Chain A
């Protein structure tokens, strides 16, 4: 981990204008806040017992899944990692159902780590999405999609796919779904996790679906598959949510 950060820092020094780390809350920047210094060193007996098991662990977790070219974090109004996790849901739901899925959404609180430059391992993806959730596709009326956009806007943004809008005074303005103006009378399909659909996230509009399909796709496996298929993971923002 540490090596990966030093590499990233060196990389940024080499390339002028690289803002990936300087604008983000890098772990190294925060280390100066630690002043208490009473943290215990590891107990050697327990540490060495743990090491005996680590080899088998590594045979599972060490598998290379993809290369990450730069730090990907969650953030608002949109973020490279937020866009990626929402896109992955929408694309996979579409291929599972064999039909176009309008929107993908999942709150960033479902994820436990951010991505750092270098090799992305299976172990990291397991940490990234540690929960055994499955993919669901909800049907929502356009009215509820407008509410959803406002609930995202009220939080300053969030991970979303298939939708574009700007935020003004905490409200979503100029909502486009798949490049078309939102039609409040139309029904839209929304890919998310069962946990989000069951009320686990902060998007109440999603709970008032008119139809729901629970797919036999584990979300963790979904991200493993998605990262693998991409091979290289680049941070991408495209202005889907603007302030």
Chain B
């Protein structure tokens, strides 16, 4: 956890951005009509619909879904191709969740045109039925490839992957959920089964590349950024699974000012990013597709949402 002072300092460059000319497009596409794709993302918003209160120990005055929405709208007015994604744990953290069980969050995220979210461990806080009740308000796919949800109330609301096409450029997105044993009480996750995220990530990335012909693959991961023990995390995942361009992470509430680059088994770079928690930041990654030649450029930046008090 960073302190407020450090946080302010780190936020000061927020308009600067950093160039990461790392990634390679694996085929040519209709670049002339496609300047780029803008990926906006959040994680672990934890029912923080209002900004952090004035007497918050951390992040007083920051965040708030209405301010995030206006930032997103501003970017949408400037960029043609925008993806808006969340890496899970929308549920739990403020009285909004106690009263509404996440349904208001998912309804407002739908109004903001979120394209997809992953399932965080707190999405189980009201059991599989509580999830299903709130998920009825989600007008976007909820992604978890390594949770087997058949024969549970969650089944109609969860899918493994999603493909978005922008003028011939295909972006594949899949979700990964964290181990349930020891993280989520058993009576809450019920008959949902956790499967090996590495195996399922390989399957998803393979499927998205080969059968869905995706040019860019994003993993929405709620595994966590880094653990010192053998638990799977985003860093280990990136080193073990090829074909993923970007991991948008969550769970560990990690503030990464810049994406971290890991060489994957294909010898290519997988970027890992995460935006802390509470909707304090909105992350942004721009794929610059205006050049006909690969590799195409990637720019990363973030916005601090709200007013520091």
Contact of B98 among A30, A36, A74, A126 (CB under 8 A): A126
Please tell me if the beta carbons of A46 and B57 are within 8 angstroms of each other in the complex: no
Whether A40 pairs with B305 at a CB distance below 8 angstroms is: yes
Contacts A113-B55, A126-B95 given: A43-B309 contact, CB under 8 Å? no
Choice from B49, B54, B55, B60 contacting A50 with Cβ under 8 Å:
B49
- Given A46-B108, A49-B107, answer yes or no on A39-B304 (Cβ-Cβ < 8 Å): yes
Which residues from 97 to 144 on chain B have a C-beta closer than 8 Å to any C-beta of chain A?
A: 98-100, 104, 107-108, 111-112
- Residues in B with CB closer than 8 Å to A49 are 107-108, 111
Interface residues on B, range: 35 or more
Residues of A within 8 A of B58 (CB): 112
- Describe A's contact surface by its main secondary structure: helix
Binds A, one of B66-74, B195-203, B204-212, B263-271: B66-74
User: How far does the alpha carbon of A130 sit from the alpha carbon of B304 in the complex, in Å?
Assistant: 23
Q: Is A10 an interface residue (CB 8 A)?
A: no
Query: What CA separation (Å) do A44 and B67 show in the bound complex?
Result: 9
Q: Is the CB of A61 within 8 A of B111?
A: no
How far in angstroms is the closest Cβ of chain B from A109? 8
Number of A residues with CB within 8 Å of any CB on chain B: 41
Q: A112-B56, A112-B57, A114-B57 are in contact. Are A39 and B307 (CB under 8 A)?
A: yes
How many A-B contacts are there with CB distance less than 8 Å? 112
Which residue on chain A has the smallest CB distance to residue B57?
A112
A88 interface residue (CB < 8 Å to B):
no
User: Does A236 belong to the interface (CB within 8 Å)?
Assistant: no
**Does A16 belong to the interface (CB within 8 Å)?**
no
- List B residues at the A interface (Cβ < 8 Å): 8, 11-12, 14-15, 49-50, 53-58, 60-61, 64-67, 69-71, 73-74, 92-96, 98-100, 104, 107-108, 111-112, 304-309
Which 6 residue pairs are nearest across A and B when measured between Cβ atoms? Answer: A42-B66, A43-B69, A43-B70, A47-B66, A46-B69, A1-B54
